[in-house]
A and B are shown apart, each in its own frame.
Chain A
Amino acid sequence: MKAFFTLVFILLSSTTFASEQAEEIFAQLTPSLYQIKLIDKASGEKSSIGSGFQISNDGIIATNYHVISSYARHPEKYRIEYLDHQGKMAEVELVSVDVINDLALVKRQVEGEMPYFQLSDQKPSKGEKLFALGNPHDLGMIVVPGTYNGLKKESFNERIHFTGSINSGMSGGPVVNKSEKVVGINVATSGNQIGFLVPHDKLVKLFNNYNKQAPTDIKQQMAEQLLANQNKLMKALLNNTWQSKELAGKAMIPIIEVPFIRCWGDSNADKTDALILAAIANCSLDENTYLSSHFFTGSVEIEFRYMQAKNLSDNKFYHLYQQQIARAGAGNRAGKNDVSEYQCHHDLVAPSSTANTGKAINNKSVFCTRAYKDFSGLFDVLYLGASVDKNQQALVSHFTIAGVSQENAMAFTSKFMEAVSWK
């Protein structure tokens, strides 16, 4: 009985301790917390909201890029305003962005000394208690306690896995440790207490670069970041091992052995009335880069589809097969103001790597590309290869890459085409 009491007491005391700590943190940090609002100039109303926090004495406020993305893309249409804990509002200026890590720095006017957030100089340890701050759904500033669970597995651009409720509107808010130092920035959630944060070192780097030399043109800065990121990604894809793997025991397909490309499989083996047996392997990069609400980039999708006719004439099999490949679409969302229309080329292609062997394949190959309007030198590409050399079997190899340079796209295409064959 005594032991039970002790247990309850310990539990009770630890929760009260946590809530006291949260209160304390909140009270101390509130003056440096802001709601960031994007105001549509024509209507005078807010078009999006997020959170932000001051990280320097001279009024630099950190937030997410996606909070102010509309302004970054169309500065003539919007203005950015902050709302502080006392209800004061004023316009701020966008000074730097990191579009890959979804960070942005805005600057407010300051008169005299101001409190600001300290950025941590070390990573948190797994299981450490953290506090996320922000203004969810415009309901007012709140503090959410949660746990640090290391970096998200299999991510190309690092994200912290935070167990705690991150809600929309909290985007751009800071996550601090017990000593009130910023260790991450709220960025995304996948529901049920799973939140994602941008690690603080990305912010440190952005802030240091800004202090060294402020960018003159935000669009130019974004273009450079996108170009550098696709170089890093494509280098990783091209230089890692491409494991040759069987598909349905009939075809050989490449699986790129990098942790951030994840594969899934499916088949219709259970559907006895299907005219064509199909087995699909699907690999993709789980993350993409947000440029605006209708424009995403940085995605990679690879798909292989093996098909076998069941009691069909060759002509009918190929007729149905053609319907399967007639509607390949872009892997990313982009609109009229973001990209050109696709330009396509098609031909019959036999890869030389397997020519004159039993594995030889003959494909109808289609390659399409569209150019980015604001970021010249970047393209979305799409490839589709459809085997045309077997009467009753077919192999479709397909990929899309968004936001890639011509050189990288063609190097990938060439390697990919040579890597697909029959078994």
Chain B
Amino acid sequence: MEVTQCTEDYTTEIELTKQIKNDDLSLEQGEIIIEEISRNHKLIHRHKLSRNKVSIGRNYQNDIILTDPHICPEHLSLKYSQGIWYLNDNNSVNGTLLENKQDKRQDAHQQVINDGDVIILGKSQLRVLFSDHQVSETIALSPFESLIDLIRHPIAVFISLALFMLIAGNISYLNQQVETNISQLFVSAFSMSLLFSLWPAGVALVSHLTKNEPRILAQFGISFVFFILMWFSDLLEEIVAFNSASNSALGLLTALLPILLAFSLFWLNSYIGFHMSAKRRAIVAISITALLFGGTYLLQYSKKREFNPHPNYNATIMAPVFLIAPSNSVDDFVKQSNDLFEQASKAALEED
């Protein structure tokens, strides 16, 4: 079996003629931008060259030196002639593919290169751009940037962490049936904040692993601000439940608030940690929110018994300071409760 070698002799007749032609018009000089990109089209390195011939390969004589072992020492060369760049593969072992914008891949030999084409050689990819390449429009700095800048400040992060621990400590104080001391409360608040730190730490880790900037302080700051906001939304929900009757529409509204907050948090997490399009970011945030709330709902639904012999009522009560709504009369309460009998009778018939 014949083993193909990376040939060093690459001059062909056609090329020679072109070379001559090129020399005739030597006044014109080509300008080319070659970007080394990763497989998922992330930029690794960018070269801007002003010459008529560019050689690419593993050899140190090349204009662009690549380290990919699947590339030949003198893998390919690009030549400029009459305003057009040509690609020439030097009989490389693994060949060269040219991928154009229409996503058509073809074997590259004496191919014309267009702006934005991607050259695939070995396991590496190069994107070729010309200096007249149309760049996308400038994106204005989002107002979130300044907010994030504020939140990621070490002092702000410290304050939100401290506030979080204060709230966590207070909640564990309220739930203790027996007398407690400060150190017990501190331990539970500390472990609670450690537990909640897993989320921003995880997001930062994932963005680091996907070659994005981790921005760990920003992730921490934004996550804890939202955890605190969620606790406030719980408090609001409680106040509404305490002050309103069971047929109030306000209750539904407060139930939506935590969903909205969670969505915002996930959106900001991905805004800080990952470069992606606005549409994709929205989809990611919606999916995580749906997974969280849908999963919780499913869990509750699966635990639901077929028949509940106990009444399921909302008995939220709070200290008199939170009491803002006026009270109803006994007659009105009895009148409203009367409707329950019809509902119960209907339920009894349905379930039969």
Contact = CB atoms under 8 A, between A and B. Distances in A.
Given A316-B174, A388-B317, 17 more contacts: A314-B320, A328-B313, A329-B309, A339-B348, A341-B308, A343-B344, A347-B332, A349-B333, A352-B329, A367-B333, A370-B311, A370-B344, A371-B347, A406-B338, A410-B338, A413-B337, A414-B330
Contacts of A418: 330
Given A273-B178, A335-B309, A388-B317, A344 B246 contact: yes
Contact of A314 (B313, B315, B321): B321
B323 A388 contact: yes
Interface stretch (A76-84, A167-175, A241-249, A318-326): A318-326
A70 B348 CA distance: 21
Interface in B82-96: none
B336 interface: yes
Contacts of A349: 327-330, 333
A315 B174 contact: yes
A290 interface: no
14 contacts: A275-B178, A322-B315, A329-B311, A342-B312, A343-B347, A347-B245, A347-B246, A347-B332, A364-B315, A364-B317, A367-B340, A371-B347, A376-B348, A417-B334
Contact of A388 (B246, B320, B352): B320
Interface residues on B, range: 35 or more
B9 interface: no
A345 B339 CA distance: 9
Contact of B309 (A330, A344, A379): A330
A409 to B, nearest CB: 8
B175 interface: yes
Contacts of B245: 345-348
A317 interface: yes
Report, nearest first, the 10 A-B pairs whose CB atoms are least far apart. Answer: A342-B311, A336-B307, A350-B327, A340-B347, A371-B344, A347-B245, A368-B311, A314-B319, A344-B313, A340-B348
Contacts of A372: 348
Nearest to B241: A346
A258 B314 CA distance: 33
Interface string B242-257: 1101110000000000
B306 interface: yes
B315 A384 contact: yes
Nearest to A390: B320
A345 B335 CA distance: 11
Contact of A344 (B177, B311, B325): B311
Nearest to A416: B330
Given A371-B344, A388-B318, A352 B246 contact: no
A362 interface: yes
A350 B169 CA distance: 35
Nearest to B247: A345
A344 B340 contact: yes
A223 to B, nearest CB: 13
A238 to B, nearest CB: 14
A327 B312 CA distance: 9
B337 to A, nearest CB: 4
Interface in B215-269: 242-243, 245-247
B350 to A, nearest CB: 8
Most chain A CB atoms below 10 A, which of B178, B247, B323, B345: B345
B319 A391 contact: yes
Given A349-B330, A406-B341, A344 B319 contact: no
Contacts of A362: 323, 327
A391 B322 CA distance: 11
Contact of B328 (A314, A348, A370, A384): A348
A344 B344 contact: no
B179 interface: yes
A338 B352 CA distance: 9
Interface in A372-419: 372-373, 376, 379, 382, 384, 386, 388-391, 406, 409-410, 413-414, 417-418
A340 B315 CA distance: 21
B340 A369 contact: yes
Contacts of B347: 340-341, 343, 370-371
B310 A330 contact: yes
Contacts of B317: 318, 321-322, 325, 364, 386, 388
Contacts of B343: 343
B334 A413 contact: yes
A351 interface: yes
A344 B330 contact: no
Given A314-B320, A322-B315, A369 B344 contact: yes
